[in-house]
Structure 1
Amino acid sequence: MLTGVDPVQKAEALLGPRPHAVVIGAGLGGLASAMRLGAKGYRVTVLDRLDSPGGRGSAITQGGHRFDLGPTIVTVPQLFEDLWAACGKRFEEAVDLRALDPYYEIRWPDGSNFTVRQDEAAMLAEVERLSPDDVKGYIVFLRDSERRYHVGFEDLGRRPMHRVGDLLKALPKFVLLRADRSIATHAAGCVKDARLRMALSFHPLFIGGNPFSVTSIYALVSHLEKAFGVHYAMGGVEAIAKAMADVITDQGGLIRQKSEVDEIRITDGRARGVTLTSGEMIDADITVSNADAGHTYDRLLRNHKRRRWTAPRLKRTRWSMGLFVWYFGTKGTRDKWQDVGHHTILNGPRYQGLLQDIFQKGKLSEDMSLYIHRPTVTDPSAAPEGDDTFYALSPVPHLGHDNPVDWARMGEVYRQKVQAVLERDVLPGLGAHLTEQLVFTPETFRDRYLSPHGAGFSIEPRILQSAYFRPHNVSEEAEGLFLVGAGTHPGAGLPGVIGSAEVLDQLVPHAKMAGQE
């Protein structure tokens, strides 16, 4: 008799064990993939080298300050709702998501500013205040961003793009929308004010792309913000990662932290499992890599002859910029700096020139632009009572350029420059209130996340490095090997990595237990 036995165990006792899926990396793409595989009936093991789930979406707590290490906003909550629903659960019961209003404020050196909200009337008023002559052009841009959303996100972004036929079907739409133009060029064709052009074109930086070279399809982000809002998860994105881990364990899956994969084992052209750095071998029926696509092919498949993603091919690949992130806590400032909201974008004196230094010249500039995150505006739990938690993020060159930045030497020098800019422009008197602090440089991203060249967002989403031209979700290098996460289709950012698991779901069949037809 099998009374009192878990239904999954009962089924396995009657029909045999479930097929085993190994997921490399407990980043958000890996966790989402594990959830979907568990829902399909697989026995799932997630292997991750860090000490907690979430990858870039994890957090570090110091002195009562929770530093959200990576993404801070949720723009398409429906993706999470669909993910939880696929597992027979409700996302809203697991995560407390708060809509933000305003979304963020953009500031320029001349003292002008631009506040972004969901309400269209409020946005039209902002545009008219900043540049009255550009109201009509802004409306054109907004309507066009909706068309690009339907093509780039709902169509191409939510289905596999690994066959040539997928590319051929997409080409007419790309031609019609002039996807060959950069988003910066597209914005310049709609509005005249340089500040407004920046405000409408900077979004690709959040997924590692240069607005002056990334396809104009990414104008779709403006529609995403307007249609679905910008949200914050109470407890940070770490709270989402922990809730995802709970679903996986509820399904009977296993998450092993501090377990680093050294190699994907290939036999007779098929992925058979992995070998850990400890020497332990784990067999699998399918293997899913949430490690960076470059690391997957260059390191984890180093002993396997590759057809497409060879070492020379990866060397020619254009990578996203690096990130310098200063996480810091302040004492007794909850009622100080009242004009600084949850998200602030602080522009330096240059836009295109700074981006050329970062993406093309590989030069650490004297000037900078900063993204400032102050979660305590929405979530007081991010800091001790009365205190604040911040991070200031500066895009910088990755480590793959000639003469890369020596961050061991320059890290503190640059941090002091960041602090000086913050004290001058947005947080006067900051130094007197500093308590806990932590710095991440591109070297941290290289060593902590095994990101090639310390890139912040894997492969840059240029037009010939997107969709079909990106590493495919189903690997052409070995059967039974799949890729998810920022370096594969559809790309970086929370919608992209969660979407990669949705694409995986379309590629992997339901599990069949031994004895099933």
Structure 2
Amino acid sequence: MDAQVDRFKIASLNADDPHPSKSRVIVIGSGFGGLAAAIRLSLKGYEVTVLEKLDTPGGRAYVYRRNGYVFDAGPTIITAPFLLEELWEMCGKKMSDEVDLRLMNPFYQVRFLNGRVFNYTGDRTEMEQEINKFSPKDVEGYRRFLKEAEKCYRLGFEDLSAIAFTKLWTLIKTLPNMYKMRAWESIYTLVARHIKDPQLREVMSFHPLLIGGNPFSVTAVYALINALEQKGGVHSVMGGTGELIKGMVKLLDGLGVRIRYDSEVKKININEHGVTGVTLADGKVLYADKVVSNADSAWTYKNLVDVKYRKHWTDRKIARGKYSMSLFVWYFGTNKRYEEVTHHTMLMGNRYESLLKDIFKKHHLPKDFSLYLHRPTATDPSMAPDGHDTFYVLSPVSHLDSGTDWSEQVETYRQSVQKMLEDTILPNLGEHLTESFCTTPQDFQDRLLSYKGAAFGLEPLLLQSAWFRPHNISEDVEGLYMVGASTHPGAGIPGVLSSAKALDSVIPSLVKR
């Protein structure tokens, strides 16, 4: 292994060699998808270099450290830990030796403005007891719904998530599974067929919002998330999600793979035979036989690939897509601890369907909202100074088609969010604030290079999923591949890890196992 590592180190440091071997790969972006792809390709024998626009790894999983507070910028809900453990095992290591995952209990606390509280857990008996508090008649309906969710998990996740949809025949072979899952229905329709209480319908259908989808539009296949949580649990990482990123970077270090930070890609270089490398923002040219983009797929095609090479992903096709919502995220610290607040809290507003219609369909900025409140110090007090709390609160909002000038609206919107928190779950919050900063849809576009500032790429509608989502192997350019939230199978840590796994079927190994 040592000789192999030395070879990788030398090769990765020489990505500016204009005569690359057929084994050199450049990965654009160091989010979960990019890092997982780099690990897998390195183990296949490729010479891998990772390019990261920001100053540290993670992409949407960036970490902010301010005055003793640790703020995870993005994903904080860890499901399907086996997909992460697999990466460590492939490298001959054990994830639990380096990363401390904690099972959440409850997974989420869902709170309604009328005072009702639902503790969402992984225990079937406890879940039925919670349902019974809301609507005893819906207990049996929940059992039926969970059977449907388990079917979607088996047929949709286990069978299809790591398959690269590169040929139409692949899609045709999945049609029986799609029929069995009633994929033409929305997740809300599926829930409503089994559960009658309006608030319980919200509890069982909000999950697609965590991956950028409107529950009233997203295919019922995504009921698989409910089953995925029940099977593998919902976890958080001691030290924050950034510890997972740090662990994956350490795996790459062990393989001799270099990550170049502050290295924004301005162009993917292509000739008549396919990819030849990339040009960086500073004008430097790096050479490779293959490029894997962990960047937003719409941004990649529209801004990094010359239009003359895009017969499929034309500007017109990109513009016609229906994109996910964006996010307003307020990160804040307090000089007191709110001990009664759980790690993951969903604060549901008075509106559900009409609020989501404003966000996804009308592209308005409503004055009301539902919120996800993340308090990691409920599990790990070390993420804030002693006696303090670290928080972020996330509000789904329209992408930039709303026309909102976030430079003018950010503070007004933040104050409205603060008032809702003070009125419901964090009394006297304003008196205890010590740290405060925000991320808006404009930041998703300008800093994270997401088309229209959409936080999750294309919305995961039926006709924007699987074969219809940007393929893991480019439809337009030989040697270009896609991983991450905006390609198949979609957003969420399990989705982006599966997108990297899908490359196994389209990029051959150079080493014998």
TM-score (norm 2): 0.96
Farther-moved stretch of structure 1 (281-290 vs 89-98): 89-98
Give 1:18 shift. 7.8
Deviations 1:370-416 (A, max 9, x none): 00000001111210011000011000110024xx1111111100000
Matched, 1:34 2:33: no
The answer to whether the Cα contact below 8 Å between 2:444 and 2:453 also exists between their aligned partners in 1 is yes
CA distance in 2, matches of 1:488, 1:27: 14
Taking the aligned partners of 1:177 and 1:11, their CA distance within structure 2 comes to 44
Give the Cα–Cα distance (whole angstroms) in 2 for the partners of residues 158 and 11 of structure 1: 27
The answer for the alignment partner of 1:447 in structure 2 is 446
Q: Distance in 1 between matches of 2:249 and 2:339?
A: 36
1-side partners of 2:274 and 2:453: how far apart? 30
Are the equivalent residues in 2 in contact too, given 1:67–1:390 (CA < 8 A)?
yes
Q: Give the corresponding residue for 2:380.
A: 379
- Residue 478 of structure 1 deviates from its aligned partner by 1.2
Structure 1 match to 2:358: 357
Inter-CA distance 12–387: structure 2 relative to 1 (3 Å threshold): closer
CA contact (8 A) 1:12 1:18 kept: no
For 2:66, the aligned partner's letter is Q
**Correspondence 1:262 to 2:266:** yes
* RMSD over aligned Cα atoms: 1.7
Contact 1:328 1:390 survives alignment (8 Å): yes
* 1:1-16 equivalences in 2 (<5 Å): 6-9=3-6
Q: In the alignment, which residue of structure 1 is the partner of 2:191?
A: 187
Which residue identity does 2:98 align to in structure 1?
A
Partner residue in 2 for 1:310: 314
Q: Within the alignment, does 1:113 sit opposite 2:117 as a pair?
A: yes
Aligned-partner Cα distance in 2 for 1:268–1:302: 12
Cα distance, 1:6 vs structure 2 = 3.7
SS at 1:147 equivalent: helix
Q: 1:175, 1:19 → 2: CA distance? A: 41
How many Å apart are 1:127 and its aligned residue? Answer: 0.6
- SS of residue paired to 1:107: strand
Which residue pairs with 2:173 in the alignment?
169
Could you tell me which residue of structure 1 aligns to residue 404 of structure 2?
A: 405
Summarize the alignment of residues 226-305 of structure 1 with structure 2, pairs less than 5 Å apart: 226-305=230-309
Residue 369 of structure 1: aligned partner: 370
Q: Say which SS state the counterpart of residue 499 (structure 2) adopts.
A: helix
Change (3 A) 1:326 1:140: same
Measure the CA separation in 1 of the matches of 2:462 and 2:332.
Answer: 36
For the residues of structure 1 that align with 2:8 and 2:339, how far apart are their CA atoms? Answer: 58
Higher mean C-alpha deviation, range 156-165 or range 201-210: 156-165
Deviation at 1:476, TM superposition (A): 1.5
Check the 8 A contact 1:214/1:463 in 2, yes or no. Answer: yes
Equivalent in the alignment of 1:73: 77
1:182 Cα deviation from its structure 2 partner: 0.3
The partner residue of 1:127 within 122, 131, 134 is: 131
Q: How many positions carry a matched residue from both structures?
A: 503
Instruction: Give the aligned residue type for 1:66.
Output: V
Q: Distance in 2 between matches of 1:289 and 1:10?
A: 24
Q: Which amino acid aligns with 1:342?
A: H
Contact 1:38/1:253, CA 8 A, preserved across alignment: yes
- Tell me the TM-score normalized by structure 1: 0.95
Paired residue type of 2:381: P
Q: Judging changes above 3 Å, is the alpha-carbon distance between structure 1 residues 250 and 5 closer, same or farther for their aligned structure 2 residues?
A: closer
Runs (4+) of structure 1 exceeding 3 A deviation are 4-13
Deviations along 1:171-204, one digit per CA (max 9) or x if unpaired, are 1221222110100111110110000111111100
Distance in 1 of aligned mates of 2:21 and 2:166: 31
Equivalent pair of 1:273/1:283 in contact (CA under 8 Å): yes
Using the alignment, how far apart are the partners of 1:179 and 1:423 within structure 2?
40
The alignment-based identity, stated in percent, is: 49
CA deviations on 1:12-59 (whole Å, 9 max, x unpaired) are 99xx97821100011110011001011111111000110100111121
Aligned match of 1:419 = 418
- The code of the aligned residue for 1:448 comes to R
In structure 1, which of residues 145, 155, 167 is the aligned counterpart of residue 149 of structure 2? 145
Greater mean deviation of Cα atoms: 168-177 or 355-364: 168-177
Distance 1:37 1:89 in 2: 17
CA contact (8 A) 1:36 1:87 kept: no
Partners of 1:114 and 1:5 in 2: CA distance: 53
Contact 1:161–1:467 (CA under 8 A) maintained in structure 2: yes
Q: Which amino acid aligns with 1:488?
A: T
CA contact (8 A) 2:307 2:314 kept: no
Amino acid at match of 2:399: H
User: Who is 2:16 aligned against?
Assistant: none
Could you say if the C-alpha distance between residues 411 and 101 of structure 1 is closer, same or farther in structure 2, counting changes exceeding 3 Å?
A: same
Query: Do structure 1's residue 101 and structure 2's residue 105 form an aligned pair?
Result: yes
Give the Å deviation of 1:109. 1.2
Q: 1:49 to 1:483 in 2, by over 3 A?
A: same
**Pick aligned residue for 2:215 from 211, 219, 222:** 211
Alpha-carbon distance, 1:271 to partner = 0.7
Given that residues 30 and 57 in structure 2 are in contact (C-alpha distance below 8 angstroms), is that contact kept between their aligned partners in structure 1? yes
1:209-250 residue CA offsets vs partner (Å, 9 max, x unmatched) = 000000001011111111100101111111111111111121
What is residue 508 of structure 1 aligned with on the other side?
A: 507
**How far apart in 2 are the matches of 1:209 and 1:11?**
40
Which one-letter code corresponds to 2:144 in the other structure? V
Is residue 188–residue 216 contact of structure 2 (8 Å, CA) maintained in 1?
A: yes
Matching of residue 225 in structure 1 with residue 226 in structure 2: no
